[in-house]
Structure 1
Amino acid sequence: MPRRQDDTVTRARHLARRLLRKQMPERWAHTKGVAHRAAQVAVTVPVTDRDVLVASAWLHDIGYTRALRRTGFHRLDGAIYLSRQGWPDRITALVAHHSGARFVPVERGFADQMADFDFEDSPVSDALTYADQTVGPHGRTMTVEYRIAEAISRHGPDSPNARARVDRVPYLLAVADRVQQRLATAAGTTSDADG
C-alpha cells in the first residue's frame, strides 16, 4: 500500500503552482521537474524526511516571483516569505540554502540575512540540491556539470553565481557524488532484499 503524502507536500505544490504557473511558466516547468526528481531520489533520505524533501523541492524557487521579491536573491526572498507565512523552519532553511546558496550571499551582500536561516548539511539538503542541479530551466533532466555550465551561461560570467563558482562548483559536484553513492547503495539494498 503506498504511503500517504503529507499535507505539507500538497500545500507546497499548491503554493508553487499558484505563484509560478501563469507568471513564470518556464520556472514552473523547472519546479515540477525538481519536485519529480526529488521524489525519485527520496530513497537517499530517511523515510521521515521524504515529505520535507519533496515540499522543499516544490518551494525552492518561489522567490523568483515578482510579488515575493525583496532582495533580488530568490533563495532568500523565498525563505523570507515562507518564514512570514509560518512554514516550518526546516523547510524555510532548506529553501534559503538550496544549491550552494551559502557561497553566493557574501558576493551579493546578504550574508547577515542568510544567517537567519540555519544551514543543514544532511542527506536531505544534498538531495534537494541534486534534484535542482539535475533539472534544467524547462524541466528537462541533465547532468550536474551541464547544469552548472548552463546556469553560468544564462546568468552571465560576471554574475554573483559565476563569481562564487570557485567554492560553489566543487560543493555541487561533491553533493552529486554523495547522492549518486546513496542511490547506488539504495539500489543495492533493494536488489539484496529482492534476491
Structure 2
Amino acid sequence: MFTVDEAAGLAEKLVAPLGRRWRHVQSVAGRARQLSVVIPDTEGDVLVSAAWLHDIGYSAEIGYTRFHPLDGARYLREHGWPDDVVNLVAHHSGARFEAEERGLATQLDEFPFEDSAALDALVTADLTTGPGGERVTYDERISEILKRYPSDDPVHRTWVKAAPILKESVQRTEARLVGQPR
C-alpha cells in the first residue's frame, strides 16, 4: 500500500521539473485535503494521493500518448498503485470527454469510471485551482482554459462540452460541504 507522502514524492519527482504545473499540483493536493471532509474517512488518503498524482502524465518521462490522464493512470497501474487512486487519476476533470475528442476513449476504458463523491471532490480541487496554484472559481478556471486553447484544439472543444457537466460535480461537492467544520 502506498502512502500520501509517497504520492507527494512521486509527484514532485515527475512534475516539479515542469515549473508552474508543480505549483498547481501542490495547491490541488492542499485543496483535496480540505475537501476530504465530504467523503468517507477511508477514502481521504485516496483522494489526496490522487490529487498529488493527477498531472504526472504530463511528465515527458512517462507521457507516451500525450493524454496525461491516461499516461498517468497507466504508469501508476504498472507500478502497483491501488486501483481507486489509479482510476481517479484516469478520470479526473472530464478526462472521458477529452478522450473522446482525441480518439482515446477505448484506451481510457481500461480504467473503470465511477461517478463518486471522491471524483467530485478531485474535480472540484482541480477546477478551482488555477494553473499557477491560485484559488479561482470554477467559472474563472473554465474561462482561463478556453482562452488558453484555440477553438480548434481538442482541449477547447472538450471544455465546451464538459463544462456544464463538471460544474455539477463542483456543485455537489459544495453542497456536501454545507454543515461541515471548516
| Distance (whole Å) between structure 1 residues aligned to residue 66 and residue 150 of structure 2 | 16
**Is residue 2:95 matched to residue 1:101?**
yes
Secondary structure of 2:179's counterpart equals helix
Query: Runs ≥4 in structure 1, deviation > 2 angstroms?
Result: 164-167
Structure 2 unaligned spans of 5+: none
Whose radius of gyration is greater, 1 or 2?
1
Report the equivalent of 2:12. 17
| Distance (whole Å) between structure 2 residues aligned to residue 93 and residue 63 of structure 1 | 13
Residues 98 and 154 in structure 2, CA contact (< 8 A), matched pair in contact too: yes
Residues 99 and 105 in structure 2, CA contact (< 8 A), matched pair in contact too: yes
**Is residue 2:179 matched to residue 1:176?**
no
C-alpha RMSD of matched pairs (Å): 1.4
| Distance (whole Å) between structure 2 residues aligned to residue 56 and residue 31 of structure 1 | 10
Determine what percentage of the aligned residue pairs are the same residue. 47
Secondary structure of 1:130's counterpart equals helix
Secondary structure of 2:65's counterpart equals coil
Matches within 5 A, 1:104-123: 104-123=98-117
Which string of whole-angstrom CA distances, capped at 9 and with x for unpartnered residues, describes residues 132-166 of structure 1? 00001110000000101111212222221221234
| Distance (whole Å) between structure 2 residues aligned to residue 149 and residue 85 of structure 1 | 36
Give the structure-1-normalised TM-score.
0.89
The alpha-carbon deviation at position 94 of structure 1 amounts to 0.4
Secondary structure of 1:67's counterpart equals coil
Report the equivalent of 1:46. 40
Structure 1 unaligned spans of 5+: 1-5, 191-195
Count of aligned pairs: 182
**Is residue 2:131 matched to residue 1:137?**
yes
Report the equivalent of 1:193. none
